[in-house]
Structure 1
Amino acid sequence: MRQYEHTLWGRMYASADGSVRDLWIPSLGRAKKSRPAAELAAVAQVMAYGTPTPRRKARTEPPPTATDGRDLPDLVRVFDFGCADGLFERLLAEGPAEAKQRFEDDGAPAFRAAATGAGTRPGESCVECKAIAGCADLKRTPELWGGKPQAVARSRQSVSAWDLRLYGECPAQYHLVRQLHLNDLSAEGAGARRGRAVDTLLNERHGERPVRGCRERQSLDTAGIRAKTGLDDASAGEAAGMLAEHRLFCPLNGLANDEQVLVQHRVTAYVPELDVVVLAVPDLVHTYRGRWIWRETKTAARPLWEGSSLLRSYPQLALGVLLFHAGALGNDPRRSWVELEHLREGHGESRLERLDPGRAENVDEARAVIAELAQPLLDDTTYEPRTGRHCHGCQARTWCRPGTAYVTDHPHPGVPGTGTTDRGDTHG
């Protein structure tokens, strides 16, 4: 018989009479306002029924005896604490009976799935996986962009479109945000909030079953969007205009019910000669009469610049072309498309652009784009700051002296005398 032990980490406290038990979970940046239901259920169960014990030297030592029911606390509370801003959020406060019910409803099913599951799920965890050599479910994509192995031996890394964008702007920003998980605490810009709201609303609609195109749905007006997202009147109005434009381009319009529709689907591949895991999460992937379609949706205040290629402007499109071409989605690239839906507020201002991953010129350009971005990232060992206009929207400027100095010396033209800026108009 296999025995499992549930434990907690964090700062744990109890009142002098034992009637109240608290757990404070530290977060590197701001305090998290919520955590997965299964996680909270497991936390509540251990807080209510577990027994404090010193750390055991070896797993072979027997676990402590659980509370027998006579010394249960009256109340357990869980807080999330933001180490960067010093603020906190209360995640739950309940008694043992509520904790037990919460675990039966949300925790036990997740625990059973984890304890009995035998499948694999490629993703970011592949970076640390010791069984990657024998994993048949992780797609191998050798020579994905023709990269060169690093000159200095390093542990396995991951690369995503977000990584490439952050590093392309500033190596220090990439290192602080993606590797050290330090984000700036300044408020998100209006454009970014609007883009995130549009993204969330589209994901909700596209994820509903049975599948329905947005053209068949009732339009959301400014008041409805404001109520659902918390945007101000101006941003909610802009979002309403973008969603109205999307109704014309929605990939689910007229799509048969037997087609596959995957919202925010994770695509993972492994480049063995570089020991690099490639991660991509397109906004939407779906089938259409045997053809796979990869759709990226972007919101913007300005039109597409005709003087720049789509693959260079949006590296995630280049990654999509390469992953399709390498068969990472298990399909013939000649029967696939990579699409960009560029949404703007004004009527007729939005565009839908399509790229064929089966065309050699598209594949060659995508390889050049990713190689130019990825090779310096993989070779870098110092991550020196690179100051410029992007410093105004840097997610880690709080911890960057050169970036802070640059913003002070070069006030953003939209906000004279300050270092604040909109963080960008696109999402995804």
Structure 2
Amino acid sequence: MSASDLEGYERCPAQWYMERLVHLPRIEEGNQALLRGLAVHRWIAEAHSRGVPCSPDDLPEPADLDRLSLVGGGEIDPADYELAYPFLRSHIECCPLRSNDARSLTAERTLYAYDGIADVVVATKSDAYWKSDDTLTMREIKTVQVQPVANDDEIFSTYLAVAWDLVALEAGLARHYGAIQGEVQLEILSPESAVVHSYSTQDSTIMSMARGRVRRLARRWLADTQWDSLPGPGCSKCSVRRWCAARDAYEASVGSRVSSGAQGAQAT
């Protein structure tokens, strides 16, 4: 069980059940946001593994095919790199390795623990970990087309991974690595800018919110036996929509509302 599992379950229990529990065959739709996100994470993981800060010299223009292997050994498809390029440029200014505190940075490492009460293996994977003095920091990286106009609390509510990482740090991850406290940084990349939001396990209010959110969602997931569908805009691109009886319910409801509105307008 991971943060992405709970996010998927929150979005639609039926989809999570069909994809992750019974492993029904999926049809993956082409998705530029997904491709760019994977390329960004792959490139940054390779770059950080060198132990030196990311720099503009590491990022050739997408048209410069001869230099695409500069970082990552050429493992990123040129088309995917072109999608990721402006986001990677934004990352340079907030690369954690620009700080002397992040010399011991570890990239893209999955950590596991067993939860005997839920009888699941809990997985935590951040885009970067590092320890400075008495603090263990975990950084998550997200890509968006436009930077959200939101404060730290609103960003916290949007991304479950922040709450998940904070709870993991408090529950023993920070202590396991010899730290007294933990910090989660959420780096949001857009083509124009990078913004880093920070959250500490020392903040009692944010920790209460984090524990509550993870607990409520995990409790629902653990007790679920029905795995009901939650029709929404994502149904049209759902990878297991052919197995779902409610796959067209959202579009039908939208069409019905539009039709009713048009009839009402004609009547007036």
TM-score category of the 2 structures, normalised to the smaller one: 0.7 to 0.9
Q: Does 1:319 align with 2:126?
A: no
Q: Secondary structure, in 3 states, of the residue corresponding to 1:306?
A: coil
Q: Secondary structure, in 3 states, of the residue corresponding to 2:173?
A: coil
Q: Identity over aligned residues, as a percent? A: 25
Q: Paired residue for 2:140?
A: 296
How far did residue 271 of structure 1 move? 3.2
Aligned residue type for 1:265: R
Give the distance between the partners of 2:182 and 2:2, measured in 1 at CA.
21
Change (3 A) 1:275 1:186: closer
Give the distance between the partners of 1:162 and 1:183, measured in 2 at CA.
19
Of 34, 42, 62 in structure 2, the residue corresponding to residue 200 of structure 1 is 42
**How do residues 35-74 of structure 1 correspond to structure 2 at under 5 angstroms?**
none
In structure 2, the gaps of 5 or more residues are 69-73, 256-268
Give the distance between the partners of 2:148 and 2:131, measured in 1 at CA.
27
Aligned residue type for 2:88: L
Q: Paired residue for 2:126?
A: 282
Is residue 166–residue 182 contact of structure 2 (8 Å, CA) maintained in 1? Answer: no
Is residue 311–residue 369 contact of structure 1 (8 Å, CA) maintained in 2? Answer: no
Aligned residue type for 2:16: Y
Of 396, 399, 422 in structure 1, the residue corresponding to residue 240 of structure 2 is 396
**How do residues 265-276 of structure 1 correspond to structure 2 at under 5 angstroms?**
265-276=109-120
- Larger RCO, structures 1/2 (Cα 8 Å, 6+ apart): 2
How far did residue 239 of structure 1 move? 1.9
Give the distance between the partners of 1:291 and 1:301, measured in 2 at CA.
32
In structure 1, the gaps of 5 or more residues are 1-158, 412-428
Aligned residue type for 1:251: P
Is residue 111–residue 125 contact of structure 2 (8 Å, CA) maintained in 1? Answer: yes
Is residue 398–residue 404 contact of structure 1 (8 Å, CA) maintained in 2? Answer: no
Give the distance between the partners of 2:149 and 2:10, measured in 1 at CA.
19
Q: Does 1:342 align with 2:184?
A: no
Q: Secondary structure, in 3 states, of the residue corresponding to 1:188?
A: coil
Q: Secondary structure, in 3 states, of the residue corresponding to 1:162?
A: helix
Is residue 327–residue 333 contact of structure 1 (8 Å, CA) maintained in 2? Answer: no
**Matched residue count:** 246
Change (3 A) 1:403 1:311: same
Is residue 186–residue 198 contact of structure 2 (8 Å, CA) maintained in 1? Answer: yes
Give the distance between the partners of 1:332 and 1:392, measured in 2 at CA.
47
Give the distance between the partners of 1:183 and 1:250, measured in 2 at CA.
38
Q: Does 1:239 align with 2:79?
A: no
Aligned residue type for 1:230: D
Give the distance between the partners of 1:392 and 1:354, measured in 2 at CA.
35
Give the distance between the partners of 2:98 and 2:57, measured in 1 at CA.
10
Give the distance between the partners of 1:368 and 1:407, measured in 2 at CA.
33
How far did residue 214 of structure 1 move? 0.4
Give the distance between the partners of 1:333 and 1:355, measured in 2 at CA.
16
Superposed CA deviations along residues 326-379 of structure 1, whole A, max 9, x for unmatched, are 122414665431100100001xx3201111112211210101111222111100
Of 169, 177, 184 in structure 1, the residue corresponding to residue 19 of structure 2 is 177
Aligned residue type for 1:270: Y
Q: Larger radius of gyration, structure 1 or 2?
A: 1
Q: TM-score, normalised by structure 1?
A: 0.52
Superposed CA deviations along residues 56-75 of structure 1, whole A, max 9, x for unmatched, are xxxxxxxxxxxxxxxxxxxx
How far did residue 311 of structure 1 move? 2.9
Q: Paired residue for 2:205?
A: 361
Q: TM-score, normalised by structure 2?
A: 0.81
Aligned Cα RMSD in Å?
2.7
Structure number having the greater helix percentage: 2
How far did residue 261 of structure 1 move? 2.3
